[in-house]
Structure 1
Amino acid sequence: MADVDFLSLFQGIATLVASPPKILIGRICLILFGFLLIYLGKKGVLEALLMIPMGLGMAAVNAGVLFFEHGRMGTLFLDPLVSEPAAVINVLQINWLQPVYTLMFSNGLIACLVFLGIGSLLDVGFVMQRPFRSMFIAICAELGTLVALPVGVWMGLPINEAAATATIGGADGPMVLFSALILAPKIFVPITVVGYLYLGLTYGGYPYLIKALVPAKIRGIAMPPEKVRAISATEKLVFAVVACVALCLLFPVAAPLFLSLFLGVIVRESGLTYFYELFSNQVLYGATFFLGLTLGVLCEANTILHPTVLILLVLGILALTFSAIGGLIGGYVLYFISGGKYNPVIGIAGVSCVPTTAKVAQKTVSAVNPESIILPHALGANISGVITSAIFAAVLVTLVRGIG
């Protein structure tokens, strides 16, 4: 029996041995990090729907590296850098996730599908009942975007890359993906990966930030009951139509996302049951699953160990932290204006990770005072945050493209 070369037989191990130390360590760390994401998703610390496929994809892509012609290393998952038409056609026949990436991910379609599903779940009545307070909180929660942009430029990023990374402060994954595709296509993969990795921190990390900045006595404030007018489905429909057209008129660069979001709202309020079931279930969950899986597969060591990734990591955490602080500052402003009747924890819900931050706000308050119900107020701020994050991103894209 002929001798069998162990490394030739097990190429995943062979490519590890043949990799430079930086790539070898990076692959091993990313495999372990993928395991961690799966564990945290299973335990409910992070969003399981996104993090479990993302973690498994991350681990698998860094394990499944093999040799191609001329000793080149690669995987059979996808190639985010292929651009020549003939090469695209060839890769579509080989890499199994390439069709998802090329036809849905790299053009922003998957972001629009997620927005469509999110829109079908949004009850804009919460915003219409408290429009000024909700929008004020949401605007305050964009502080991270405003802080991260100049800091990114100061750290050496071109203004387009700094602006794309700053949109992480809006805590809106599809918007980060969409903005990065337009502003920083060369590094949109690491920007999007960093953005989605950090969105998990809004669930796991924000409760600690709330406890650090809001004393327990204030966290437990039970807001007095208020009379709010019931908003009819027709009114919500009119609001969605007017808001969609107005925002598309003002910010056409983000028109696909505005249309997707408000189309979902309109389907919900029009009583189109079959479409509602389709968008809020199959479309939303299917798009989110493949978004997470594709993001995980994009975390191959050679791609993720980009020289600017450390800067992106710093900017991402800075943006999300200051957005939370900005939202809480807005909550404190309303607390003082109301004479201590407004619970400032609601401010964290202005960070537009729907409905995660609204649930975080209610859960944190309930831990101190189970009788305090702030969820309706938090959902109003949360939904407003989706709109303001899209507006801020559209403004950045428009201004930065003008500069370029």
Structure 2
Amino acid sequence: MIDIDPLQLFQGLATLAASEPKIFYGRIFLILLGFLLIYLGHKGVLEALLMVPMGLGMATVNAGVLFFEGNRMGTLFLEPLASTTDEVVNILQIDWLQPIYTLMFSNGLIACLVFLGIGSLLDVGYVMARPFTSMFLAICGELGTLITFPLGVLMGLPINEAAATSTIGGADGPMVLFTSLVLARDIFVPITVVGYLYLGLTYGGYPYLIKLLVPPKIRGLAMPMKKTHPITPGEKMVFAIVACVTLSLLFPVAAPLFLSVFIGVIVRESGLTYFYDLFSTQVLYGATFFLGLVLGVLCEANTILNPKVLILLIVGILALIFSAIGGLIGGYVLYFATGKKYNPVIGIAAVSCVPTTAKVAQKEASYCNPDAIILPHALGANICGVITSAIFAAVLVTVVRATGAS
């Protein structure tokens, strides 16, 4: 009779038993966290398209650890540490998600695909109708990035990692992924995971921040109706072309992102229906789904239990809180500058992630006054937030590279 050790037969349990206590409890925690993300995505508390695959990937990768040669522990999902071309070819043929990681994650392509889909959904007419107030609020909404960059350095992060983590304040997940790949490749996984988790959780908390900082009477302030010049698709295309080329000239490090988002805008306005449907549905949803799945699979306990992750958690949440406060401060500046005719709640929409925060602003205003229609103004600030998050990220990358830290 063959004598089989049950732990060798069920290697997931064997690797769990052989792990040091920190990894043991870390794997259990991440499996349970994965279940929680799936539940919250299913209930609509978090974005289901992102959180369900991320949660399942996170739970599965921490369950499916096995022994390799030399008693080394690993998974069959990703082994991205190949050093020769033969190893790379073998891995691309064997490991399940390695081709997606190698061909789409390691070069930032996944972020560009998500931006392409987002761009096809953006109506830049909201920005063109109110360019100055929209851009002012968007800049105010980057307060978290400005504050947490030096704060991260003071908390012990190297300058490149502090810069990458601070981009969470821009509240733009693909931007966080792209910047962390450029500046802090070694810890881009925890930075990106923290960024996406906090984006989902913090938006649930933003209504409470609005209630705390904006009194009900002001919160329900109705914006004066102003007749705006109708903006044609041709004018929007010209805006997209000029903005793309100008921003790429000024900040070439983010040129792939500028091209992606503005070519999406151009496709939307040019009447290319087939490509609009392709980019706004299959490309955006497909890229977002695999973004969540691969991020979840990258969440092995050894990676997430890096001591730096606690600092990333603190810096990330502070970045989003300060950015929201900055947007509301900008809203108050416009409130007083216009003789108390501007609703400061619009400022929360400057914290990017189209169109979530714009909807949050409208919802909170409607609670206090059903006749308060602020969504057009909020969408202008929201779309500008996408642009300014790319600009701030490009500036950070340029500054850090100038110091030789990346």
Place the TM-score, normalised by the shorter chain, in its bin: over 0.9
SS in 2 for 1:299: coil
Q: Alpha-carbon deviation of 1:233?
A: 0.4
The aligned amino acid for 1:234 is: G
In structure 1, C-alpha distance between the alignment counterparts of 2:289 and 2:54, rounded to whole Å: 8
Q: What corresponds to 1:213 in structure 2?
A: 213
2:244 paired with 1:244: yes
* Aligned ranges 1:384-403 → 2 under 5 Å: 384-403=384-403
Supply the distance in 2 between the matched residues of 1:112 and 1:295 (Cα, whole angstroms). 16
What is the total number of aligned residue pairs between the two structures? 404
Instruction: Tell me the residue number matched to 1:144.
Output: 144
Deviations 1:271-330 (A, max 9, x none): 111111110010000000000000111111011111211111111001111000000100
Instruction: State the Cα distance separating 1:19 from its structure 2 match.
Output: 0.5
Displacement after TM superposition at 1:151 (Å): 0.4
Partner amino acid, structure 1, of 2:377: H
Instruction: Report the aligned-residue RMSD.
Output: 1.1
Q: Which residue of 1 aligns with 2:355?
A: 355
Asked if 1:264 is matched to 2:261, the reply is no
Cα deviation, residue 214, structure 1: 1.2
- 1:325-344 deviations in Å (ceiling 9; x for gaps): 00010011111112221111
Return the offset for 1:86: 3.0
Amino acid of the structure 2 residue aligned with 1:307: P
- Distance change (3 Å), C-alpha of 1:356 and 1:80: farther
What is the correspondence of 1:147-158 to structure 2 with a 5 Å cutoff? 147-158=147-158
Counterpart of 2:75 in structure 1: which amino acid? T
Identity rate, percent: 80
Distance (whole Å) between structure 2 residues aligned to residue 219 and residue 43 of structure 1 = 28
Q: Which amino acid aligns with 2:353?
A: C
Return the offset for 1:111: 0.4
Question: What are the residue-to-residue correspondences of 1:318-329 with 2, within 5 Å?
Answer: 318-329=318-329
1:144 Cα deviation (Å)? Answer: 0.3
Q: Which moved more, 1:176-185 or 1:199-208?
A: 199-208
* Partners of 1:11 and 1:65 within 8 A in 2: yes
Match of 1:382 in 2: 382
Q: Distance in 2 between matches of 1:201 and 1:83?
A: 38
CA offsets per residue over residues 350-402 of structure 1, 9 Å max, x none?
A: 01111111111111222222221111111000000000000010011111101
Paired residue for 1:28? 28
Alpha-carbon distance between aligned partners in 1 of 2:243 and 2:59, rounded to the nearest angstrom: 42
Distance in 1 of aligned mates of 2:11 and 2:19: 12
Residue in 2 aligned with 1:124? 124
Alignment of structure 1 residues 4-403 onto 2, 5 Å? 4-403=4-403
Measured in 2, the distance between the counterparts of 1:43 and 1:106 equals: 32
Structure 1 SS opposite 2:94: coil
Compute the displacement of 1:2 (Å): 3.6
Letter of the 2:402 partner, please give it: G
Q: TM-score, normalised by structure 1?
A: 0.98
Give, in whole Å, the separation in 1 of the partners of 2:8 and 2:53. 29
Offset, 1:83: 4.4
TM-superposed CA distance for 1:106, in Å, is: 0.9
TM-superposed CA distance for 1:189, in Å, is 1.5
In 1, distance between residues paired with 2:70 and 2:25?
24
The 3-state SS of whatever aligns with 1:93 is helix
Q: Tell me by how many angstroms 1:156 deviates.
A: 1.1
> SS of the counterpart of 1:205?
helix
User: For the structure 1 residues 41 and 99, does the alpha-carbon distance in structure 2 shift closer, same or farther, using more than 3 Å as the test?
Assistant: same
Would you say the 8 A contact 1:189–1:298 is kept in 2?
yes
Secondary structure at the counterpart of residue 200 of structure 1: helix
Please give the alpha-carbon distance, in whole angstroms, between the structure 2 residues aligned to 1:191 and 1:353: 17
Letter in 1 for 2:378: A
8 Å contact kept, 1:202–1:357:
no
Gaps of 5+ in 1: none
Deviation at 1:94, TM superposition (A): 2.0
Whole-angstrom CA distance in 1 between matches of 2:172 and 2:85: 32
Distance 2:10 2:389 in 1: 47
Displacement of 1:3 after TM fit? Answer: 4.0
Q: Secondary structure at the match of 1:127?
A: helix
CA–CA distance in 1 between the matches of 2:70 and 2:233? 63
Alpha-carbon distance in structure 1 between the residues aligned to 2:368 and 2:14:
55
Q: CA deviation at 1:230?
A: 1.1
User: Using the alignment, how far apart are the partners of 2:83 and 2:4 within structure 1?
Assistant: 38
Q: Is the 1:49–1:288 Cα contact (8 Å) retained in structure 2?
A: yes
- Structure 2: how far apart are the matches of 1:85 and 1:164? 30
TM-score (norm 2): 0.97
Question: C-alpha separation between the residues in 2 aligned to 1:293 and 1:227?
Answer: 45
Gaps of 5+ in 2: none
Using the TM superposition, give the Cα deviation of residue 9 of structure 1 relative to its aligned residue in structure 2, in angstroms.
1.5
**1:268 maps to amino acid:** R
SS in 1 for 2:291: helix
